[in-house]
Amino acid sequence: DSGVTQTPKHLITATGQRVTLRCSPRSGDLSVYWYQQSLDQGLQFLIQYYNGEERAKGNILERFSAQQFPDLHSELNLSSLELGDSALYFCASSVGQRTTGELFFGEGSRLTVL
Amino acid sequence: GENVEQHPSTLSVQEGDSAVIKCTYSDSASNYFPWYKQELGKRPQLIIDIRSNVGEKKDQRIAVTLNKTAKHFSLHITETQPEDSAVYFCAAMNSGGSNYKLTFGKGTLLTVNP
């Protein structure tokens, strides 16, 4: 158990819909990262938050947004869903804002868009 | 931004043989290189990392080498065992820059045959 909690574990929805994925980091970790894992693309970095502020942005679509709340949990919002958004979405956390240490991954949220 | 290429995409070895996975990176300022292992259906977990001030690091049966001039780093697994079967991801990051993004390669599926 990494200490990072993600909900829901599985989600099935239809195209055009909106979903919210939730992540609680390890106790004491201030940074939260979101990654998308598709079959052929490996781990694609989406976005990072540190203590409530956005720190780095990757290949995150405009239809996607995220935030980190004062209690440090984070939510990833995916809207106007398309078939291609089907993937495993990982949240990870670390103590600092620079990832020169271990990233602790959650178990992931598997999104299926039909 | 940083680009990490990883080869091979799949690797099959006999139990007891060695396995080598190679990665190249594009940003000469990158100075932190972790390797993550992801077993089937599980979360990625850090197995070893190396910083640019060293050329090699070992931890029991695994080792990582770094060639900064060539912008190349490799994972070496000796005396492979069936439980080494997993997807391995390399990654690179510039810990001193303003971009806190950890960029992953696309992964190598290692299969160790008994």
Pairing of strands B62-67, B56-59: antiparallel
Beta carbon pairs, A and B, within 8 Å? 60
Stretch A37-63: mean pLDDT: 89
A93: closest CA of chain B, how far (Å): 12
pLDDT digit string, tens, across residues A97-109: 665 678 899 999 9
Q: How far apart are CA A18 and CA A14, in angstroms?
A: 9
* Res B14: pLDDT: 97
Q: Does B32 touch chain A (CB under 8 A)?
A: yes
* Res B99: pLDDT: 63
**Average pLDDT taken over every residue of chain B:** 93
Closest Cα in chain B to A49 = B100
Strand partners, B35: B48, B90
Structure token pair of residue A85: 């958004």
pLDDT surpasses 70 at B54: yes
pLDDT digit string, tens, across residues B85-101: 999 999 998 776 666 67
* Res A97: pLDDT: 67
B46: closest CA of chain A, how far (Å): 6
> How far is residue B90 from each of residues A5, A58, B37, B113, measured CA to CA in Å?
24, 17, 9, 23
Residue pair A18/A81 in contact (Cβ under 8 Å)? The answer is: yes
Residue pair A92/A76 in contact (Cβ under 8 Å)? The answer is: no
